[in-house]
A and B are shown apart, each in its own frame.
Chain A
């Protein structure tokens, strides 16, 4: 044992191991403690980022200390790091842009973990906000990683920012129908729907005289967690009720002719006498 302890390489290795084990435990404890304290005061993504920052800084200190024990001169390492930093800077432009974008996103507080957001065609629940990217869980259970830079450059819609939302429905009824009667029916459906809120009141707009129908916009308010229940129930109720009232919902008809066997409709002039 004495011989072993006298061995310089063993001693260096042993010291390094102690620093790594003790350092990693210390970093873990500080990171956890900071997380617990900051969780109450800061948003979830900010406190996760601070925890990660503490973790990485802690490991940089551990590595520097181990290098010092091994006998590597820190000044030389830092000098080399400076040169490498320039090379690395060129190579890591995108990563740096993502990190800076991430900091802007956090300070803006446009969304937080658990919000449903839309970026481009992607809609999903924010699962994590990290230094380089934001992870979304899509509703079909796909996991999407989107670089932070994209969030700064693109339009992001936070669908569940507020506790209530409006469900926008666009429908058309035939020209023969009375739009005032349709309006009254829609308001009655909304009033009796268990998910639709009385206040704010539903919005009805007679939007346009369309090519083949009278265009109507109808918007109803609901609690954000009731989206599917509200949409399904109100769509079923509108279809059922309009059928009961014999109100026609027109739709475009397309007739397809195939090959020479199928001829277009024949028109014949008929004399009136």
Chain B
């Protein structure tokens, strides 16, 4: 099943998508669209046409001015920053440089597609993500992030644990004199783009340069824009502010 596609939905029929833990129903009635969803404990992928009207579900209703019947499902990044806790303590030895890959759960974005434009109707996660506070509880300086535990992989193929994930490449360069303990990373999703390369979605590379004085310099590597095999799926929401990235990393260092 290729989830990321355009779907032509018939009037007055109910369509069902099972995407991981997410159960998603879409219904079209003339100039109205109805989208309902809920989560359960079963994890698989499926798409069913002309299903029964689901019960005990809250619908989101959308009024449109035309009778277009195409919708498109695209991946998007989580709507909050994401704190990735490394499953194992990772030590980056002095004078070493490595590229690692980690995956983050994609959100499902449902767009209404007409000949001229694409309108976003809804963006939701495929499972309920737990939230965490990154910062001091008795301070207004902090941020609520989604939280998950993940491994860091050497190749991006092995980092793809499910079809609705986005791979984040991390380039870590330790120029300090001591091993650097890499335990967690708070990803500011709004600065990242999504690219599609073959069947994989990935973001720009986040580069960490640990300097001699243990200061960490963070930047986004835009090399992927030059890759002819990669297509831009979604541009970043905000222009990256370098000091913000470093600030979020500093907060992390302080709470560890």
Contact = CB atoms under 8 A, between A and B. Distances in A.
Say what secondary structure dominates the interface of chain B: strand
Interface in B17-49: none
Contact of B133 (A164, A191, A194, A195): A164
B137 A198 contact: no
A198 B145 CA distance: 10
Say what secondary structure dominates the interface of chain A: loop
Contacts of B139: 162
Interface stretch (B2-10, B66-74, B124-132, B225-233): B124-132
Contact size range, A:
10 to 19
A199 interface: yes
Interface string B112-149: 00000000000000001011111001111010100100
Interface string A186-205: 00000100111111100000
B140 A162 contact: yes
A197 B142 contact: no
Contacts of B142: 163-164
Contacts of B137: 162, 164, 200, 221
A197 B138 contact: no
B144 A163 contact: yes
A223 interface: yes
Interface in B138-182: 138-140, 142, 144, 147
Contacts of B130: 191, 194, 196-198
Interface string B170-214: 000000000000000000000000000000000000000000000
A199 B147 contact: yes
A162 B140 CA distance: 6
B132 A199 contact: yes
Nearest to A191: B130
A195 B130 CA distance: 8
Interface of A: 161-164, 191, 194-200, 221, 223
Interface of B: 128, 130-134, 137-140, 142, 144, 147, 255
6 contacts: A197-B144, A198-B130, A198-B132, A199-B133, A199-B147, A223-B131
